[in-house]
Amino acid sequence: MNKKEVSLSLTGLGWAIYTDEVGDKVAHFTLPDRIVDIIYGIRIFRNDKQLEAMLSTSTQKYSEVCSEIRGE
């Protein structure tokens, strides 16, 4: 599996996919009470591939406060 296939799978499940400011792929999903983000990629070993993922959850209010602090 490659990064494009992972992106297509997540999109099919309703996740929004985008590339962030440093070039990482991010999957974003909004639930009624929280926001979930996954930064993901594929790590290649000698003969194997491994999905790497860094997960984050927050609330809409927390995201708004962070944007205000950053001046957005």
pLDDT band at 53 (very low <50, low <70, confident <90, very high): very high
pLDDT at residue 72 greater than cutoff 80: no
What value does the mean pLDDT take over residues 64-72?
Answer: 87
> Residues 12-31: pLDDT tens digits?
999 999 999 999 999 999 99
Average confidence (pLDDT) over 42-59: 92
Which one, of 10, 65, 12, lies nearest residue 36 by Cα? 10
Give me 71's structure tokens. 């001046």
How far, in Å, CA of 34 to CA of 24, rounded?
A: 22
Confidence (pTM):
0.80
- Report in angstroms the alpha-carbon separations of 45 from 6, 48, 69, 72: 18, 5, 40, 39
Element (H, E) at 70: helix 60-70
Could you read off the pLDDT of 29-47 as tens digits, one per residue? 999 999 999 999 999 988 8
